Amino acid sequence: MLREAKALCSWATWKVKAQALKLETYAVYVACRDPRVPWYGRVLAACVVGYAFSPIDLIPDFVPVLGYLDDLILIPLGIALVLKTIPPEVMTESREKARASIGQGKPRNWMAAAVIVAVWILLASLGIVLMVRIISN
C-alpha cells in the first residue's frame, strides 16, 4: 500500500513537472515574438520550441530509453539556455500570456502544422523518386 502511494505521488510530481515544462516552452514561443528579445535569442528560441513541438525527434521515441532521454535532457537544457537570452520582464509577460492562452484551450498554430505536413510530403515524394530511380536501374 505504501509503495502504491509513493508511486502515485511520484507520478503526480512528474505530471506537474511536465505541465510546467509545456507552459515554459509555450512561454518561450510567445517571448521569441517580442521585439525586445535580441535576434540571437529569437533564433535559439525558435530552434528549441521547434524541436519541442516537432513530431520529428533527434532520437525516435520508439528506441528504448534513449528515445525519451533526448526530450528529457535537450528540451530543458535548451529552455534554460534560451532563458539567459530573454530579458526577465519579457519572460514574465510571456508566462502570463501563455497561461491565459492555455487556459482558453490548447493553442494551435496552423501555419506550423502546414509547414510540418509540407516537409513530410516533400520527404515522402523524394523517397518515392529515389526508389523509382533505384528500381529502374
pLDDT digits (tens, 9 = 90+) for 102-127: 877 665 666 766 777 788 799 889 99
DSSP-based three-state secondary structure for 9: helix
User: Under 8 Å CB-to-CB from 51, ≥6 apart: which residues?
Assistant: 58, 74, 75, 78
**Is there a contact between 30 and 98 (Cβ–Cβ < 8 Å)?**
yes
pTM strictly above 0.85: no
What is the arithmetic mean of pLDDT over 20-31? 89
